[in-house]
Amino acid sequence: MKETPRIQSLWKQTAAISLACLALSSIHTMAQNSLNFPTIGEIVRYSPCLDELIGDDAKIEVLSSGFDWSEGPVWVGDAESGHLLFSDIPPNSIMKWVEGEGVSLFMKPSGYTGVVDYGREPGSNGLTLDSEGRLTMCEHGDRRVSRVEKDGGKKTLVDSYEGKRLNSPNDLVFHSNGDLYFTDPPYGLPNRWEDPRRELDFCGVYRLSKDGQLTLLTKEMTRPNGLAFSPDEKTLYVAQSDPAAAVWMKFPVLDDGTLGKGEVFYDATSFVGKMKGLPDGLKVDQHGNLFATGPGGVWIFAPDGTALGRIATGEATANCAWGNDGSVLYITADTYLCRIQTKTLGMKP
């Protein structure tokens, strides 16, 4: 068949598209070994005090993308040879990012080991390390807090309260004495609060003591989410991802490890719907400043609750964690894994 000018034109267009796809594929592959990462968003400065924490030249670098809902980052190892682990909740996976190599699958399944479909978010969520460096994780689908042992197997740390299964443990933080504090909203249940498998009629904040005793600390928060201690461990901050009351709470930590009466640290309800996201994961630097994901990215607060600014990713932003030498903040923002260089140092997980 003789090629008409139209057919020749179509062949050229097809070839051009193929070459473009090949080029994009090569760029993606090369990006894994590159330090020249693309950037997103901007730094929004509410106070000149932010200049002491984030430099004028700081950029939000995109290290990798294409995830379903990235969450729970934690840095593992030392500054030079360490790596980042983070959850990709819908595909039930934990991913591993290494400088110069990129992302690879670390664990699957990560949060659900059942045999039937378990909704949109079955995987692991919050990740942290215990004092021995063991990965400790909140599992949505299996409704437990677990630990990866030195031999690679998993151990269930807690999965029920007073004989009733937990909702879906979300985020967690260790006290320096070895006690583990965690939150338990319903987001991992297939139908969330309305799910018939739900056994508790509240969303709790708990403490699991190092000797295995579980204590309900508060059930007054409607959707408790991320949590972190102040540097002196006298205050526990807890995010509430409720659109009707999008707040960060602060609780005094009493001598016996329980919590006193909480109060609102910052109320972001007026920003809900105007910017993507809700109060979610949070971390604290060594000076007590909060880096808390919420509407519009990562909010940065002084210890007295003054909003200093935002790391505005432009995406619904789930969590963050310090890595490398403690001055690099890694951010999970919807489909992205990002990072930003700071001028401060974060608290170790």
Please state which of the ranges 17-26, 211-220, 327-336 shows the lowest mean pLDDT: 17-26
Determine the pLDDT at residue 160: 98
- Whether 26 and 173 map to the same domain: the answer is no
- Whether 21 and 165 map to the same domain: the answer is no
CATH assignment of the domain containing 278: 2.120.10.30
Phi, psi of 309 (to 5 degrees): 165, -175
Q: Residue 233's Cα: distance from chain center in Å?
A: 21
H-only helix segments in the chain: 5-31
Assign 291 a pLDDT band (cuts: 50, 70, 90): very high
CA distances from 258 to 13, 65, 120, 224, 332 (A): 67, 39, 33, 16, 30
Does residue 348 form part of some domain? no
The total number of residues shown for the chain amounts to 349
- What total of structural domains would you count in the chain? 2
- Whether 158 and 67 map to the same domain: the answer is yes
pLDDT surpasses 50 at 28: no
Q: Give the model confidence (pLDDT) of 87-118 as tens digits.
A: 999 999 999 999 999 999 999 999 999 999 99
Does residue 262 form part of some domain? yes
CA dist 128 and 138 (Å) reads 9
Does residue 349 form part of some domain? no
Q: List, as one string, the DSSP characters of 6-53.
A: HHHHHHHHHHHHHHHHHHHHHHHHHHTT-S---EE-EEEESSGGGGGT
* Burial class of residue 70, CB neighbours in 10 A (0-12, 13-18, 19+): buried
CA dist 173 and 180 (Å) reads 6
Determine the pLDDT at residue 32: 57
The parent domain of residue 81 ranges over: 38-341
Does residue 346 form part of some domain? no
Residue at 125: amino acid letter: N
- Whether 23 and 116 map to the same domain: the answer is no
Does residue 295 form part of some domain? yes
- Whether 60 and 130 map to the same domain: the answer is yes
- Whether 69 and 1 map to the same domain: the answer is no
- Whether 141 and 275 map to the same domain: the answer is yes
CA dist 265 and 249 (Å) reads 5
Average pLDDT score over residue span 198-206 = 98
Q: Is the pTM of this model over 0.85?
A: yes
Does residue 347 form part of some domain? no
Q: In 3D, which of 273, 167, 179 has the Cα closest to residue 224?
A: 167
Average pLDDT score over residue span 275-283 = 98
Assign 34 a pLDDT band (cuts: 50, 70, 90): low
